[in-house]
Amino acid sequence: MSATYNSVYPPEEDLIMNQQQLKQQIRQLAEERNALLMAHFYQRDEIQEIAHVAGDSLAMAMEAARTERQVIVLCGVHFMAESAAILAPEKTVLLPRPDAGCPMADMVTADQLRAMKARLPGRPVVSYVNTSAAVKAESDICCTSANAVRVVNSLAEDEVILVPDRNLGRYIAAHTDKKCHFWEGYCPFHDQLPEEDVLAAKEAHPDALFLAHPECRPQILRMADHVASTSGMIDFVRNSPVRKFILGTEMGILYRLRKENPDKEFILPNSLLRCPTMKDITLEDVLRSLETLAPRIVVPEDVARRARVALDRMLAVPRD
């Protein structure tokens, strides 16, 4: 029985050794291919570890636009790879798992947005980067959770259309004088964070600060000591004297937080803050992608041209 078990499930040290070998192969091949490895903060720990750049959607979009490397291996979800391909059309953008999508991005289509624009003519469309290239092409400007309020307040119009996240939309509305028209999309994981789980975590850890992502529901944000994007949370924790934090966002952020703050403690309100598609990409997928230079993400030229206008306008908004 023991021998059978071990033949099916390799010892943990063998798995660790295999991972280290894969990481070494990936790093070597990335240099040979002149490739930039980018990973979102919600990716698996081992994927973030091998990345040249780990960041949120805004950081990855900016890096894609300025990198001199000829190949971009984007470890994230489909809309992120599309954004990189739009901003770096002369480069080869690879998404190791092209089936890694975003449920929120799938909640609005270009046709649906065109219909909303027809009902609300003259209102500029602010499209969250968590949207397809086709939706961005129908938008006036993009935003991320890190710069959403700045983007909306940079516009001259008194009314705006916000797609697709209703929770981010309501957060923006609370920080602007503009009238906001929301699309009823949401992130299934942030949106379903139960209030009772947050309350229980706060009661169990009264010395902890609760940090919430603006994709959470308004009632969750009202419970937060600080509301921020993933990069905003990382900056806040780094600069805070507090030693314990409850996190209202996807569990992948724990890798960066623990790496930068080994003396601090991080608590998740429950075990459900896990985006499956953000965990799709494995080291084997990254290696295969570098070996084959596939799957390549290509956005149709007309869509890319119009979507780039919205992305460029976002990138031109001054940062704090």
For the chain, which residues make up each domain, given as ranges? 2-101+279-292, 105-185, 193-271
pLDDT-based confidence at 4, cuts 50/70/90?
very low
* Sequence-separated (6 or more) residues with CB below 8 Å from residue 140: 124, 125, 126, 155, 310, 313
Return the pLDDT at 190: 97
DSSP state letter for 93: E
Tell me the H-state helices in the chain: 2-8, 12-32, 45-50, 57-66, 78-87, 110-119, 133-137, 148-153, 166-173, 188-191, 195-204, 218-221, 230-239, 253-260, 283-292, 301-316
Return the pLDDT at 11: 54
- Residue 201: pLDDT over 70: yes
Q: How many C-beta atoms lie closer than 10 Å to residue 3's C-beta? A: 7
Of all residues in the chain, the percent with pLDDT exceeding 90 is 88
Return the pLDDT at 9: 45
Q: Please give the Cα distance from 192 to 313 (Å, whole number).
A: 32
The CA-atom distances, in angstroms, between 236 and each of 34, 143, 204, 243, 245 are: 34, 21, 22, 12, 11
The residue among 167, 162, 170 whose CA lies nearest residue 140 is: 162
- Residue 7: pLDDT over 60: no
Give tens-digit pLDDT for 29-63: 999 999 999 999 999 999 999 999 999 887 887 89
Return the pLDDT at 248: 98
The residue among 318, 298, 256, 284 whose CA lies nearest residue 75 is: 284
Which one has a higher pLDDT value, 77 or 59? Answer: 77
User: What does pTM read for this prediction?
Assistant: 0.91
Give tens-digit pLDDT for 139-179: 999 999 999 999 999 999 999 999 999 999 999 999 999 99
Give tens-digit pLDDT for 263-282: 999 999 999 999 999 999 99
DSSP state letter for 175: T
In terms of CATH, what superfamily is 2-101+279-292?
NadA-like (3.40.50.10800)
Q: Please give the Cα distance from 240 to 261 (Å, whole number).
A: 10
Same fold, 2-101+279-292 and 105-185: yes
Return the pLDDT at 60: 86
Architecture in CATH for domain 193-271: 3-Layer(aba) Sandwich (3.40)
Return the pLDDT at 65: 83
CA angle at 275 for the pair 270 and 277, rounded to the nearest 5°:
160
Please report where in the chains the tokens 């229980």 appear, as a residue: 200
**43 in Cβ contact with 283 (< 8 Å):** no
Return the pLDDT at 140: 98
* CATH code for the structural domain at 105-185: 3.40.50.10800
Overall average pLDDT of the 209-218 stretch: 98
Return the pLDDT at 6: 38
Which one has a higher pLDDT value, 57 or 306? Answer: 306
Return the pLDDT at 15: 57
pLDDT-based confidence at 256, cuts 50/70/90?
very high
* Collapsed DSSP state (helix, strand, coil) of residue 273: coil
By residue count, the chain amounts to 320
Give tens-digit pLDDT for 89-118: 999 999 999 999 999 999 999 999 999 999
- Residue 10: pLDDT over 60: no
Mean pLDDT over each residue of the chain, to the nearest integer: 93
Two structure tokens written together for 169: 């939309």
Return the pLDDT at 210: 98
**299 in Cβ contact with 64 (< 8 Å):** no
